Amino acid sequence: MRTSPEPAGLHHLLADAARATPDAPAVHLGDATWSYAELDRMAERYAAALAAVGVTAGDPVLIWAEKSADVIALTQAALRLGAVYSPLAPANPPARVARIAATLRPAHVVTDQAGARAAAAAGWPTAAPPLITFDALRERAAARPAPPWHPAGPDDPAYVLYTSGSTGDPKGVCLSHRNALAFLRWAVAETGLRAGDRLANHAPFNFDLSVFDLYGAFRAGASVDLIPDDLAHAPSALVDFLFERRITVWYSVPSALLLMMRLGGLLDAGVPPALRVCVFAGEPFPTGGALRLRAAWPGVRLFNWYGPTETNVCAGYELTGADDGRSEPLPIGKPAAGDLIRLDGTTADGTGEIVVDGPTVMLGYWGQDRLPPGGYRTGDLGRYDADGNLVYLGRKDAMVKVRGHRVEPSEIEAVLSTHPGIADVAVAVTGTGVEARLHAVVVPAGPQPPGLLALKAHCAASLPTYMVVDSVSAAESLPRTANGKTDRSRLLATLTPAQQKEKP
């Protein structure tokens, strides 16, 4: 853990580590390793490249590419110029990338060769910002020296993470240097992160879990091992990765761990030889599964972290022996990183909406006004238990967690409604936790509703894979509330037991 003064900006973490331990490993990907000095030099070259194409302080830089050291270096380059980066995983199809680019308004969309091919095949909109590949970006820099660093203020925006939006369009959560550094300072201390650690980066870079993987490693002078996108949902490969790469700190959604437990033989393989910390967040971890993991790994510290993208992590809980007989849901714990949490509109049993205020709370949504005083209303319901720990009780509105990702059904509905065979549509979530599935109820525009495969293909053209519907049924009309909105509770009640348990 670093003992030097707090950095002036998020991008100083890499540079500080490069000065302190230039030859230490920073990033691993497959058989390749980049030292801190090498990654720092890459960041400087990309800073020159971005400056060569006109990027200056305050400009957004959209990065749509598979995980790589180049992507990481490019994010650091953007920050050094005072620019704001926004990463998108390749799971986002070209149509969604173009929609996001229309709101972010970057001068270019930086992509890799795979992204360029996908965009060409889909027909990249002429009105969208032009694509530029990493290779072309480096060529534009030529021998140009890196420009001076732009001095970052703590409340300057650093990065934008796009999430599912309630209007049917993605919305960009804008985080500042202060937001990220407050979280990292707490998270590094909480986990005891140190220079010898090797973190596994399971989450895509557009998912807020990756902030800890990358910047936690930089802050401690540790290394991060990138899990390629094609391995992220391969349970046996993930188990092998955990053991063979001698990971010391694992952070993922519970779904990934449960998949590894159920189909990857995780609990049959013994305790991973180097693992000392396992953190999960993004969705509730079923108590039974968490306790099975704790029993199998008695010497590994297990943490349950909570927070929407708008706050990163704002509460945390460490499992102990006191949880071994637990049958109720795991708590999400107590406020983290200097944040304050209050419950608004509490009922007689103490249940209320979780409202977060403090240093990790976002600046606001990109292109909109900054968040007003009073804290961020999460839309999540919570209640304090007898020990003073906060317990998550579900969503107040229609937004849900599916496969570890926050999903707004209206965004999926907006895409499905463009299918010529659909007159009206509503998307409901069946099941809970890791069993949650997306079910579409469609009102056909003709005599026959479109089939599931056709709707999957239609979704896949505009949505990331985790937002593709799993099942479909037809209805003559959708149930409505008195004010004309889709009545989702009644919608769920119309589904048969078989539909509610249907697996993709």
Domain annotation covers residue 216: no
CB-CB neighbours of 140 under 10 Å: 15
Contact at 8 Å (CB) between 177 and 154? yes
Best CA proximity match to 203, nearest among 160, 254, 169, 244: 254
- Distance between CA 372 and CA 388 in Å, rounded? 28
Which pLDDT does position 504 carry in this prediction? 47
Collapse the DSSP code of 299 into the 3-class scheme (helix H, G, I; strand E, B; otherwise coil) and give the result. coil
- CATH number for position 408: 3.30.300.30
Domain annotation covers residue 245: no
Best CA proximity match to 360, nearest among 137, 107, 179: 179
Which pLDDT does position 190 carry in this prediction? 98
- CATH number for position 95: 3.40.50.980
Of 130, 152, 174, the last residue of a domain is 152
Domain annotation covers residue 416: yes
Domain annotation covers residue 379: no
- Distance between CA 206 and CA 466 in Å, rounded? 13
In total, how many domains does the chain have? 2
- Distance between CA 160 and CA 376 in Å, rounded? 17
Cα distances (Å, whole numbers) of residue 485 to 170, 391, 410, 490, 491:
21, 30, 11, 12, 11
Domain annotation covers residue 6: no
Q: What are the average pLDDT values for consecutive 10-residue runs of the chain, which has 504 residues?
A: 65 97 98 98 96 95 98 98 97 94 95 96 93 94 86 95 78 97 98 98 94 98 95 93 98 90 91 97 88 94 97 97 88 97 94 96 96 93 94 78 78 84 86 84 89 94 91 85 61 72 52
Contact at 8 Å (CB) between 436 and 455? no
Contact at 8 Å (CB) between 232 and 202? yes
Of 114, 137, 152, the last residue of a domain is 152
Best CA proximity match to 147, nearest among 49, 59, 63: 49
Domain annotation covers residue 290: no
Which pLDDT does position 498 carry in this prediction? 62
Residue 146's domain comprises 38-152
Global confidence as pTM: 0.86
DSSP letters of 318-338? E--GGGTT--SPPP-BEE-TT
CB-CB neighbours of 216 under 10 Å: 23
Which pLDDT does position 12 carry in this prediction? 96
Which pLDDT does position 399 carry in this prediction? 61
Of 152, 174, 208, the last residue of a domain is 152
Which pLDDT does position 476 carry in this prediction? 86
What letter does residue 392 receive in the DSSP assignment?
A: E
Domain annotation covers residue 426: yes
Which pLDDT does position 3 carry in this prediction? 44
Which pLDDT does position 5 carry in this prediction? 58
Domain annotation covers residue 435: yes
